[in-house]
Structure 1
Amino acid sequence: MTGGTTVVANPASVAVDQAFDVLIRRNFFKGVAFDAPEGDPGWFGPDSAVWYVHEHTPALVLGLFASAAIETLHPDFAWMGQQHSRGVRWVNGEPSGLDLKGLLTRAGHSYSFFMAVAYGPSHAADRVVRTVRGMHGTVRGERPDGRAYDAADPETLRWAYATVVWGIATAHERYHPRPLRGADLDVYYREFTRVGEALGGTDLPATKSEVRDCLRASIPLMGVTMPTVEFLAGLGGAVSPAPLRPALRMLQWAVLDLQPRWAQRLLRVPRSSSTSIRLHRAAMWSALNGIHYAAGPLPETRAARARVGLPTTTRLLPRPTA
Structure 2
Amino acid sequence: MALRNRLGAMVFERVAGPEGPQHRDRIHNAVGERWFADDRPIRTVHADSAMFIGGLRALLLQSLHPLAMAGVAGHSGYRGDPWGRLQRTSYFLAVTTFGLASDAEATVARVKGIHRRVRGVAPDGRPYAASDPHLLKWVHVAEVDSFLRTHQRYGAAPLSAADADGYLADTARVARALGVLDPPTTVAELEFQLNSYRPELQGTTEARAAARFLLVRPPLPAYARPPYAVLASAAVASLPLWARWPLRLPYVPLAESTVVRAAGTGLVRALRWIATPVPESAA
- Counterpart of 1:52, as a letter, is T
Q: CA separation in 1, counterparts of 2:164 and 2:133? A: 25
Contact 2:234 2:264 in 1 (8 A): yes
Please name the residue that 2:27 is paired with: 34
**Unpaired runs of at least 5, structure 1:** 1-9, 89-98, 300-322
Please name the residue that 2:198 is paired with: 219
Please name the residue that 2:57 is paired with: 66
Please name the residue that 1:55 is paired with: 47
Please name the residue that 2:109 is paired with: 130
**Unpaired runs of at least 5, structure 2:** none
Q: CA separation in 2, counterparts of 1:298 and 1:30? A: 19
Q: CA separation in 2, counterparts of 1:167 and 1:55? A: 15
Match of 1:150 among 106, 116, 129: 129
Q: CA separation in 1, counterparts of 2:23 and 2:225? A: 34
Contact 1:66 1:255 in 2 (8 A): yes
Q: Normalised by the size of structure 2, how large is the TM-score? A: 0.89
Q: How far 1:228 moved relative to its partner? A: 1.4
**Is 1:289 aligned with 2:269?**
yes
Identity %: 27
Contact 1:42 1:122 in 2 (8 A): yes
Q: How far 1:244 moved relative to its partner? A: 3.4
Match of 2:37 among 23, 42, 45: 45
Contact 2:12 2:20 in 1 (8 A): no
Contact 1:154 1:200 in 2 (8 A): yes
Please name the residue that 2:176 is paired with: 197
Q: CA separation in 1, counterparts of 2:186 and 2:192? A: 10
Q: Deviations over 1:153-203 (max 9, x none)?
A: 111111111111111111111101221031221111111101000101111
SS of aligned partner of 1:137: helix
Contact 1:51 1:119 in 2 (8 A): yes
Q: CA separation in 2, counterparts of 1:298 and 1:47? A: 24
Structure 1 pair 201/61, CA: closer, same or farther in 2 (3 Å)?
same
Q: How far 1:266 moved relative to its partner? A: 2.8
Structure 1 pair 181/260, CA: closer, same or farther in 2 (3 Å)?
farther
The CA RMSD measured in Å over matched residues stands at: 2.2
Q: Normalised by the size of structure 1, how large is the TM-score? A: 0.79
Please name the residue that 2:260 is paired with: 280
Match of 2:143 among 164, 183, 192: 164
- Counterpart of 1:17, as a letter, is G
Q: CA separation in 2, counterparts of 1:29 and 1:125? A: 18
**Is 1:80 aligned with 2:59?**
no
- Counterpart of 1:261, as a letter, is L
Structure 1 pair 296/21, CA: closer, same or farther in 2 (3 Å)?
closer
Aligned residues: 276
Contact 2:237 2:256 in 1 (8 A): no
Q: CA separation in 2, counterparts of 1:181 and 1:73? A: 30
Q: How far 1:12 moved relative to its partner? A: 4.2
SS of aligned partner of 2:71: helix
Q: Deviations over 1:17-48 (max 9, x none)?
A: 3214532242467667125543x341102011
SS of aligned partner of 2:125: coil
Please name the residue that 1:250 is paired with: 230
Q: CA separation in 1, counterparts of 2:177 and 2:258? A: 39
